Amino acid sequence: MSNQLYPELPGLTWPVMRTPQWKTSIQTTPSLREFRTSSVLNPVHELTLKYEFLRQRSSQAEYQRLFDFYANHRGDFDTFLFLDPSDYQASQVRLAVGTGTVSQYQTARWIPNTPFNLAPWSDQMFMSGWNPFGATVVGNAAAAYDGLPYAIKLKETTVNGVHGLNMSAGLFSPDVNNLWAVDVKADGRSVVQLVLYNGVAAPQAYCGANFDLVTNAVQGFSTSSGSLLTAAMLPLGNGWFRCYVIGTAGVVSDGLQFAQVVLSNGSGVSYAGDGNSGLLLARAMLMPSNDLKPYVRNPSASPLFPKLEPVYAPYGAQQFYTWTASTGFSSISPSTVSLSGLATFASPIPAGVSLYYTGTYYWRCRFADGSLSLEQFMRQFWQAGRVKLRTVKP
């Protein structure tokens, strides 16, 4: 097993084909009924690379680099490390919930395109986990943009103050970009504020934006420790808009995080309410992301986490955090992180405490074939129509 890095060569063309491979045992009866047994929890991946050109020059020797790398690993015998430029980062991955007895955990990444939504009861925002302040919530008050009657009405009280709704504390990491999105429709009020907060008492860190549902104006804001990447609103029809912010709340001492929806009278968010005006809300979604994602419904009180796949070749900075509802995120350092990504802590993670991971990783691979075909199409120029790599489990 070598730790050599697969060479980055300029002739690589798109697309890079990725083929996950599973192992299933299938028994078939005479009547053609099937009994299937899965042999693995996670697949291996086959990557197919194509090179339009590989130069054979003293100063530009891609042909020699690829040929020598293949020969040094004796074809498909020895393994190496491959950096996939589209899949090398794990951000805010919940590895496990502590039991009080386990001190070793395998680093992992989220499997892309599996369901992910940290917002509880995402289309029933009157259920547990949602907390109104200066406002009341009427469940199933109106039809959402799709015509189904699950939208809530967030209705301001007559209190002179801030009127809104927030999710229970925690769950999102304040130092990575998070997507906070909600469907909104005017119902007496036509301006809404979406905010990612960190900290209950001053000084707080946050980022967010004000959305005007009449003029379509969007005005972003953040504290100096927070950072707003983007804020936008998308028309859905029938007066509904998908409003969202993406950014980092920022880090403060008390470390409690909130995602909030706040009513505005057009002049500000602190005012004496009339007891009836408000907004219709539906389809809440919260997740770490640098861009807008399709809505994923979460029909439960617990966060909806995607499936995990182990990371067997971490590199660079590896960060670990614990999280509880009362303290939020706290940094924790393992005693060691092995080359295969096994993190060992000095003591077991306490029962009920969530362990999170952020880091970068390589893929441990070998060549899928014992032969490599390179075609010379002109003097000092070669091409490789298919170079197959196969990921390897330790």
Q: How do residues 192-239 score in pLDDT, each as one tens digit?
A: 999 998 876 666 788 999 999 999 999 999 988 889 999 999 999 999
Residues 106 and 169 occupy one common structural domain: no
User: What is the identity of the amino acid at 163?
Assistant: H
Question: What pLDDT, on the 0 to 100 scale, is given for residue 170?
Answer: 60
Residues 281 and 187 occupy one common structural domain: yes
Kindly state the tokens that stand for 140: 């199933």
Residues 218 and 235 occupy one common structural domain: yes
Residues 209 and 159 occupy one common structural domain: yes
Question: What pLDDT, on the 0 to 100 scale, is given for residue 198?
Answer: 82
**91, 288 in Cβ contact below 8 A?**
yes
- Kindly state whether residue 378 falls inside one of the protein's structural domains: yes
Residues 93 and 26 occupy one common structural domain: no
- Kindly state whether residue 3 falls inside one of the protein's structural domains: no
Question: What pLDDT, on the 0 to 100 scale, is given for residue 58?
Answer: 77
What is the span of the domain harbouring residue 346?
89-114+306-361
Residues 78 and 147 occupy one common structural domain: no
**260, 200 in Cβ contact below 8 A?**
no
pLDDT lower than 50: segments of the chain: none
**136, 258 in Cβ contact below 8 A?**
no
- Kindly state whether residue 301 falls inside one of the protein's structural domains: no
Residues 73 and 155 occupy one common structural domain: no
Residues 312 and 387 occupy one common structural domain: no
Question: What pLDDT, on the 0 to 100 scale, is given for residue 59?
Answer: 79
- Kindly state whether residue 157 falls inside one of the protein's structural domains: yes
Write out the DSSP string of 313-366.
SEEEEEEEEEEETTTEEEEE--SEE-TT-EEE-SSPPPTT-EEEEEEEE-EEEE
165-188 as b/e, with b when 16 or more CB fall inside 10 Å? bbbbbbbbbbbbbbbbbbbbbbbb
Residues 166 and 284 occupy one common structural domain: yes
Report CA torsion sign: 271, 192, 147, 300.
negative
Kindly state the tokens that stand for 374: 């390179």
In three-state secondary structure terms, 63 is helix
Question: What pLDDT, on the 0 to 100 scale, is given for residue 252?
Answer: 65
Q: Based on the structure, what is the number of domains in the chain?
A: 3
- Kindly state whether residue 377 falls inside one of the protein's structural domains: yes
Question: What pLDDT, on the 0 to 100 scale, is given for residue 275?
Answer: 96
CATH code, 263: 2.60.120
Question: Rounded to an integer, what is the distance from CA 237 to the centroid of its chain?
Answer: 28
